[in-house]
Amino acid sequence: MPSPQLRDNYYQSLAWPSVVKSVLALHDAAAAKDIWTPATGKKFRVLGWDLQVMVNVTLQAAAAGDYVLMYDEVVTKPIAVLGIVQDGLPVAGSILSSSAQTGVGAFAQAVTEMGANILAPSHTIPGGYLSSAANNDVKVALLVAATGAVVDVGSGELRIAGLIWGHEE
């Protein structure tokens, strides 16, 4: 019986990204922030990311349990939770992560770790996450824990910085 034949470089095309996006964005309104807009008629496939979420200006409207979500065009298609609000009023300089919220003094440490993680990515998805439709964007927003609705951060600001990588298909 002959061995199965796979398309040339099929696995290589999944393992090595063809697109690497540098992200430096401010989320400062009731609307989500686009961090990857694929070319017209294309779908994105997220293979991995190394993104840090920092409170740039105190989030007056946030509550403990609210979370920062990276998603596929609509919040009902989540890709990953990037950060969770641990304190009722996250102050400027706080780092939001999916495991813990660090204090103001930890920003330099987080930047150092983010640089180190570029070579050893902190988050990857085996096979990637393929967009549900062509022309969808990867978005980031702060969501209310109880309802999943996007929070109007009011006078507050979240800074999202790092890299996201994958393919456009």
Q: What is the DSSP string of 98-167?
A: SS-EE-GGGHHHHHHHHHHHTTS-SEEEEEEEE-SSTT--EEEEEE-TTT-PBP--TT-EEEEEEEEEEE
Is residue 6 one of the residues assigned to a domain?
no
How many domains, in total, are found in the chain?
A: 1
Amino acid identity for residue 25 in this structure: A
Identify the residue with better confidence: 17 or 102.
17
Tokens of 161: 């910085």
Is residue 59 one of the residues assigned to a domain?
yes
Is residue 5 one of the residues assigned to a domain?
no
Is residue 2 one of the residues assigned to a domain?
no
pLDDT digits 0-9 by tens, 62-105: 888 888 889 998 878 888 888 888 777 777 777 777 654 444 43
Rounded to two decimals, the pTM is 0.77
pLDDT at 7 over 80: no
Which residue, among 47, 63, 146, 160, has the nearest Cα to 114 in the 3D structure? 160
pLDDT digits 0-9 by tens, 128-169: 899 999 999 999 988 888 788 887 777 788 889 999 999 999
Is residue 13 one of the residues assigned to a domain?
no
Amino acid identity for residue 89 in this structure: L
Contact call for residues 102 and 15 (beta carbons, < 8 A): no
Tokens of 138: 């990867």
Task: Domain of residue 88: give its range.
Answer: 23-168
Is residue 27 one of the residues assigned to a domain?
yes
Contacts of residue 167, Cβ cutoff 8 Å, sequence gap at least 6: 13, 17, 18, 19, 44, 45, 47, 128
